[in-house]
Amino acid sequence: MIGEEASPGRVERLIRAIPEGAVLRGVFVALLVIAGSIAFLDYRQLAEATADRERISRTEPMPLARPEPGDQVRPYLPKTIPVAPDRGVPSLPGWDGPVDGEAMAERMRFVAGPDGAISAIGRIEIGTAGDFRDFLASPEAAGARTLYLHSPGGAVDDAILMARELRERRLSAMVPADGYCASACPLLLAGGLTRNAGEGAWVGVHQVYALPLSDVSRDVDRSIAGVQETIARCQELLVAMGVDPAVWIKAMQTPADSLYVLTRDELIAFRMVRPFPDDTSFIGPPAPPALPVPTLSVAGDGAADPASSDSSG
């Protein structure tokens, strides 16, 4: 019959069967779930950011188990050192101050010790390569033969310049027993004409990463390109210094907030430890002049910023 309404379908009948209050309650519950999820995500992001700030700013040593083969990844603290349960205090010629805490958080300092020893302790920052060059030119460094390292790393570009300076002057490099050389520091170690690491020394690597140091908007493509260029410079340095660049694979596999600590066998296999100078047939031609530091800088604790040049670490 014209005008007669069609019988409601099954879906419509189900909808009509739902009490109005149930619909409102369902909407309310859904909104609560959404709000709770957003709050949880915000809390998790805040907690992660807080934990990362604490990790980056921490200057107190953190007790960590000594790395063993197959168990070599440890947290990376850019301003302090790990302390194994049985870890001793490194002996740094000429240095009579503390070897942890604030000493590691400050800009790298250089002191002369007996028998041609020089000790370097602290972070590698922008301009540290210039400080090192000036120190080596001073009367205090006359007769220098070996650089003792105790550093959490820092600016990659400065570490590369310092490594080239070491090799040009034919100086050796050493991480003392129970010493610490992390992040960009192994690049400096690689510059030694001969290289060694004492018992219990931690020599660790990890990824280069970008660190914003200004309010200028980040250019992602430029950041990625800058990091890749820095990785290439690191590998170029290792090859020029007679170190197996395969060690950088370990670095690239390790997140920036962690550290891959090389075993003694790995240090020898990768030629990070080398008790005798290599002949030129292995090293190849002399290292070319250092590339100018780009506007995009990277640190081995490791960081790059498209608008400035500095480290993490």
HEC per residue, 42-78: HHHHHHHHHHHHHHHHCCCCEECCCCECCECEEECCC
Instruction: Give the confidence band of 276 by pLDDT, cuts at 50, 70, 90.
Output: confident
Which residue shows structure tokens 């800009």?
107
The yes-or-no verdict on residue 73 having pLDDT over 80 is yes
State the pLDDT at residue 307. Answer: 35
Q: Are residues 18 and 126 in the same domain?
A: no
In a domain, 300, yes or no: no
In a domain, 307, yes or no: no
In a domain, 310, yes or no: no
Q: Are residues 102 and 231 in the same domain?
A: yes
Q: Are residues 130 and 274 in the same domain?
A: yes
The phi-psi region of residue 195 (left if phi > 0; otherwise alpha if psi is between -120 and 50; otherwise beta) is: beta
Range of the domain at 266: 63-283
In a domain, 134, yes or no: yes
Structurally, how many domains does the chain consist of? 2
Q: Are residues 130 and 249 in the same domain?
A: yes
- CB neighbours of 90 closer than 8 A, spacing ≥ 6? 99, 150, 176, 177, 178, 179, 180, 198, 201
Q: Which amino acid is at 93?
A: P
pLDDT tens profile 29-54:
677 778 777 776 666 666 555 555 77
The phi-psi region of residue 278 (left if phi > 0; otherwise alpha if psi is between -120 and 50; otherwise beta) is: beta
Task: Locate all alpha helices (DSSP H) within the chain, ordered by sequence.
Answer: 10-17, 20-57, 102-105, 128-137, 156-168, 185-190, 220-240, 247-252, 264-269, 280-283
CATH number at residue 71: 3.90.226.10
Q: Are residues 15 and 115 in the same domain?
A: no
State the pLDDT at residue 20. Answer: 62
Q: Which amino acid is at 27?
A: V
State the pLDDT at residue 75. Answer: 92
Q: Are residues 248 and 112 in the same domain?
A: yes
Q: Are residues 42 and 129 in the same domain?
A: no
Give the mean pLDDT of the chain.
81
Q: Are residues 125 and 168 in the same domain?
A: yes
